[in-house]
Structures are given as C-alpha cells and as structure tokens.
Chains A and B, each alone.
Chain A
Amino acid sequence: MYDLVLNTIDTITPARPWGIDIPNYFWFTGVSVAAFIISSFGNVFGMKSYKPIAGFSLLVAFVLLVAAPLNLIDDLKQPGRISNFFTHGWENFPTSPMKWGVLILVSYFFLLLFNVLIFYREYFVHAYHCTNNKFLKTIFKIASLWRIKLGEAQEQKNHKIGLILSVIGIFFALSVEGYTGYILGATHGVALWHTPLMPILFLASAMVGGTGLLVVILCIFQRFFADFKKIDYDMVDRLMKLLAWFIVIDLTIRFFWLTFAIPFNGEEKYALMRFFKANLTETILIEYILCLLIPMVIGFVSKLRKNLFISLFGAAICSIGVWDFRWNIVIGGQSIGRTTPGLLNYIPDFWGQDSIISALSNWGIFIALLCLVMAIFPWDKEMSKYYKQ
C-alpha cells in the first residue's frame, strides 16, 4: 500500500496551531523543574556537597517558572479569555492534561514562591531589624511572611516548613514535567507524540537541560556578581558528572522510545521514518552527537571536565540541545501529515504574536527577572556561608 504512487493534485495545507512559543515554554518549565530538583539535593536529601547551590538553584527554578507561562499566554489566540480556563469546562478535567496541568503549574508556582521566601526568611528578618526606612521595613516584613522573630526555635521551624514545602515541591515539580509529556502523549493522532514514555522523556531531557543551564548561570554569577567573585570549580565538576549521568538516562529512554516506535510495523513506523529521514542531519548530528554525546564524554572524562571552558561549552551545548529536542518534538510532530500528504514546513514569523521576537522577548524577561531576583535575594551571602567553612 505504501509503495503506491500517489500524487496530490489539489488539496489544502492543514492548519497547525503551535509555533515557537510552545517548545520555548516546554524548555522553561523543564529546566525550572531540573533546577528545583538539584536544589532539593541539598535541601531535602541532605547531600552536603550540593548545599552551597541549594538557594541559588531554587531562585533560578523560580524565575524560570515565572517566565514560562508568558510563552503560553503569547501562544493563545484569545489571551483576554484566560479566565475562561478557570471558570469553564471542568467536565473535561480527567481527560484534558492541559486542564489539570495548568492547576499543577499554578500550585507549583506558589510552592516555589513560599519555598524561596522560607529559605531566605532569616536574611529578610535581619534586614528588617537593620533598617529604619518604613517602606523597606514593610517590604522585608512581607518577604519574611509577617514573621519577624529571630532565634533558634524560629530557625528550626523555618527549616521544618522549608523541608515540608520542598518535599511537596518535588512531587509538583515531577508533575509539572509529567503533565507537559501527557499533553503531547495524549494526542494519539500525532505519531511522534503518542507514547506513554513522553512524560519521562521530557523529565529526563529536562534534567539534562536544567543541569547544563545551571552550570552556565552559576559560573557567570559566581564569577561576576558574588561577593567572593570566584567560581566553585568542584561544584562545576560535580554538576558536569551529574549531567553526564542524566544524559545516559535520557539516551536510554530515547532508545526505548525510538526502538519501539520505528522498527515494528504500524502506521506510526511510516510516519516516523518519513520524519526522521527528512530531519536526519538535524536530529542525529546536532541533537544526539553534538548536544548529547559530546557533553556526555566531557562529563565522564575527568580531564575534560576539569577544564572550565570545555565544561561550559558542554553545559551550554546540551542545554541548547534540549531546546532543540523540544523544538523537534513540538514542531516535528506537527509537521507530520495526518490525512493530507507531505511533511509540513514551519518558518516562524519574525514579528508579532508567536514569533521569533516574542520568544526572544520572553528570554529577555527571563534574564531581567533573573537579575532582579538575584539582586533582591542574598544568594551570595547564603552561598559564601558554605565556602567559609
């Protein structure tokens, strides 16, 4: 049947709704989740070696999560009707991953916010007591969640609440990444998406991208913006090794995904073969070799990862690779025809809604927010506490 020669004389190009905003959104939420999980290594699991970056990566996770939904809003054709999401359509709650996903996203945002405030409460209480400025006092009081007492008992209470929030946070973080996988996996008409592996595929690749981004941001902030102005090479080394293991997990899941979908006969096989044939260079050379295998080698070879420049290159490239993976999944999945022939081609608009400029603007907002949050929160003071010991 598939050897048949069929020429399309006349039909229409099918519509595809999701553009550049959506892979960008998936990337932002994914790396936020990864940053939060790395933060919890020190916060929840008590791994002392990760404690110095617990607060820092928590802030990175928070900022990424604030920036992420802006992509979604930009993608909506009727953003003014956003309240309809909350007021209508609850009968579809069990079957619409987007429905429960946004609720998880909102809950995760508040959890992260409170987590951050609890984590840095001690510093804000100190700042409250040190200033006489009424306005600043109010700000610090809000930031310390209206609890301006100091002392060991209070500190213990903070720690306990922080721990509980972090444990719940891990559940929500995994759910956030899981739901994005469900959104795609539930659309059975798209051969590239329809796999139950999609949630863990997204989670595994998010861990890769998030660790990579964290290495890059950490180096920049420690070198240029911290009081001590010194990069923690041991931490970079540790994160690069962790990154390499995350890549192994990611590749293993991708192996299962592709080896199950492509070799065995079925409609999906033909759709995926056509897709991968058309995108062979990009997927194999860029996504797998350049952005996964090379950083994995860097992470596993001690000599390479000791070199900061090489480590930074590896970290940056795999983070970009994870973005590319999300692009290939979202845009690639939609490029496969369902009842019309041919692969579709997507060229994002430069200006306007859901365009290159809007995606770049979102990155601009992320960077601006990161600077703002890092300026407000005493991440370096908290971090230097561990380096003094």
Chain B
Amino acid sequence: MDSNNSRRSFLTTMSLGLVATGIGAGNAQAFTLKNPGRDKQDPRYIGQKGKRFGMVIDLRKCVGCQACTASCKCENNVPTGQYRTYVSEYEIGVFPNVRKAFLPQLCNHCENPSCVSVCPTGATFKREDGIVVVDDTVCWGCGYCINACPYDKRFFNKLTKVADKCTFCAHRVDKGLLPACVETCVGGARVFGDLNNPNSEISKLLNMFPTNVMKKDQGTNPRVFYIGLNDEISDIPVSEAILDDLAKKIDKTPLAQWSVAYEGGK
C-alpha cells in the first residue's frame, strides 16, 4: 500500500512537472504541426494563391557584371562575404581555344525541395506560390537543410544565425514588384513571373526556347530555368581552385573553417 502511494505520488509529481514544462513551452510558441506563421494564415507565409513563381535566366544575355549580386545584398541585408545569389565565372577549354562562361546561381525554389522535407522544425517551407522561405524566428540552426540542398544554395547567416537563402524577394513580389536581381539585371537576362499564367513573359520564354535546369537527376524539379546551359558547367565542374579563395590565401587573409582545398589542385 505504502509503495503504491509513493508510486502514485511519483507519477503525480512527474506529470505535473511535464505539464508545467508544456505550459512553459506553450507560452513561448504554441505546438504546431506546421509553423506558427502558416497556422495564423499570415499572408507572408501563405503567398499568392493560384500563382506559381519561377525564373528564367538567359545565359546568352548574362555579362557577369554582378549587378544582381550587389542588388541582392543591398535589398536583403546579406552579411559581408555571404551571398544569396552570385554569378560564377568560368574559363572553358585550353588556350587558344577558350571561352568564358557565366552562371548566375540562386535557390532553385524546387517543386520538391529537399530542404523542406528534412527540416525538423518546419522553419523552411514552400509557400502556396512555390517560393521556398525560411522562418528565421523558428529555425534552430541544425544545418540539415544546408546539407540537403543539392545546389549548395543555403548558408548560415552570420547575423541571424539561422539558415538563409534567396527568397525570390518575396517581400517585394507580394507588393507586385520584381525581385531585386531581376530589376537590376543590366542585360535583361533574368526574367521572373508566374508560371501558371500562359501570358506571362516567363511562360512565353519557356514555350519559345529550350531550357535546362541544374542537376535534373536530383528529382527536385527546380523552378529556375536556364537558356543556354549545358552539361559543361552544370554537372560536376572539374576545376580545383576558386580564385577568390586563392586570393585570400595569397593575401594571408584568414580562411573560414571551410575553404577550397588546394593540395593537388591546379
């Protein structure tokens, strides 16, 4: 009888403790299957119903000026040394038969995003208009999404200390504006719009030109399409060194924890 009573009191204490913990956690943010913003139907989290946003990048028009890179950093307050979008510059072939290639890169806002399905807190999710975003108030910084992205288009923001990436400038798009990179593109290489609308410029371009996406075999169905992208640079680039990092090394600037390995490289 005695032991039964003490067992009961143990269970009571335990359950009260758990309830108290639950209330504590509940006060901070309610338990949700999805995400607090989506539960509250916050328009920023829901997006524009009936639309499906995407981008076409015409590589024939890209001149590698990095205006998109700069405007993105200004618009989104991206910390120094980090980028949501940038234009990689390559030299293909052997002298004298060489040519330059530019490859603007950003989050592909995939139809089946790997980053979303693995997120253990629901901080990263796809809006109804297909824009993949990160809720920086929920992300706990485990980095699983960064590793799950087959395109290397996510990073830990130095300021917010959570996962960050291109949002297609969702805050601008929701006001009817274009993403900053599109608006600033000097060659008009970036075209943004609603894929569901057959009369949009992006739909017309997709109908008119053959396009390619990055790493098609990953099965994520990217929504950033390229005109003029071929396998030379879209699959596994074989170059070893990244000159930005090489320059850091020569200047004896401290390299980050992760840098490009030069040993045996060109």
Contacts and interface: CB of A to CB of B under 8 A. Distances in A.
Contact of A6 (B119, B233, B256): B233
Contacts of B142: 17, 72, 75-77, 98
A133 interface: no
Interface in A235-249: none
A115 to B, nearest CB: 18
B238 A6 contact: yes
A16 B92 contact: no
B7 A88 contact: no
A87 B239 contact: no
A97 B142 CA distance: 13
B236 A337 contact: yes
Interface in B1-17: 3, 6-7, 10
Interface string A49-87: 000000000000000000000001001111101111111
B239 A6 contact: yes
Given A96-B117, A149-B3, A5 B92 contact: yes
Given A8-B243, A91-B34, A343 B260 contact: yes
Interface residues of A, number: 73
A189 B141 contact: no
A271 B236 contact: yes
B16 to A, nearest CB: 16
Given A189-B218, A267-B217, A341 B146 contact: no
Contacts of B219: 188
A8 B7 contact: no
How many B residues are at the interface, by size bracket?
Answer: 35 or more
Contact of A9 (B10, B86, B90, B105): B90
A131 interface: no
B235 A337 contact: no
Interface in A70-122: 72, 75-79, 81-92, 95-99, 102
Contacts of A83: 25, 28-29
B192 interface: no
Chain A CB count within 10 A is highest, among B30, B153, B219, B238, for B238
B231 to A, nearest CB: 5
Interface string A24-64: 00000000000000000000000000000000000000000
A17 B26 CA distance: 29
Contacts of B89: 8-11
B161 interface: yes
A259 interface: no
Contact of A7 (B31, B146, B266): B266
B32 interface: yes
Interface in B64-121: 64, 82-83, 86-94, 100, 105, 114, 116-121
B247 to A, nearest CB: 10
Interface stretch (A224-232, A285-293, A346-354): A346-354
Nearest to B9: A146
Contact of B148 (A14, A76, A186): A186
B245 A341 contact: no
A2 B236 contact: yes
A271 B105 CA distance: 21
Contacts of A99: 120
A361 interface: no
A18 interface: yes
B24 to A, nearest CB: 8
B187 interface: no
B138 interface: yes
Interface string B135-160: 00011111110111111111110000
Interface in A136-154: 141, 146-149
A196 interface: no
A147 B258 contact: no
Interface string A332-367: 001101111111111111000000000000000000
Interface in A292-341: 334-335, 337-341
A13 B259 contact: yes
A6 B92 contact: yes
Contact of A95 (B83, B117, B232): B117
A301 to B, nearest CB: 37
A46 B88 CA distance: 63
A1 interface: yes
Given A6-B238, A13-B259, A98-B142, A84 B121 contact: yes
B36 A88 contact: yes
B240 A96 contact: no
B258 A13 contact: yes
A92 B233 CA distance: 33
A253 B87 CA distance: 42
B122 A88 contact: yes
B208 interface: no
Given A12-B86, A339-B152, A89 B122 contact: yes
B89 to A, nearest CB: 4
Interface of B: 3, 6-7, 10, 25-26, 28-36, 64, 82-83, 86-94, 100, 105, 114, 116-123, 138-144, 146-156, 161-162, 214-215, 217-219, 231-245, 255-266
22 contacts: A2-B236, A2-B238, A4-B92, A5-B92, A7-B90, A8-B89, A10-B243, A12-B242, A87-B26, A89-B120, A92-B118, A96-B120, A149-B3, A186-B148, A188-B114, A189-B147, A278-B263, A341-B237, A343-B260, A345-B260, A346-B257, A347-B259
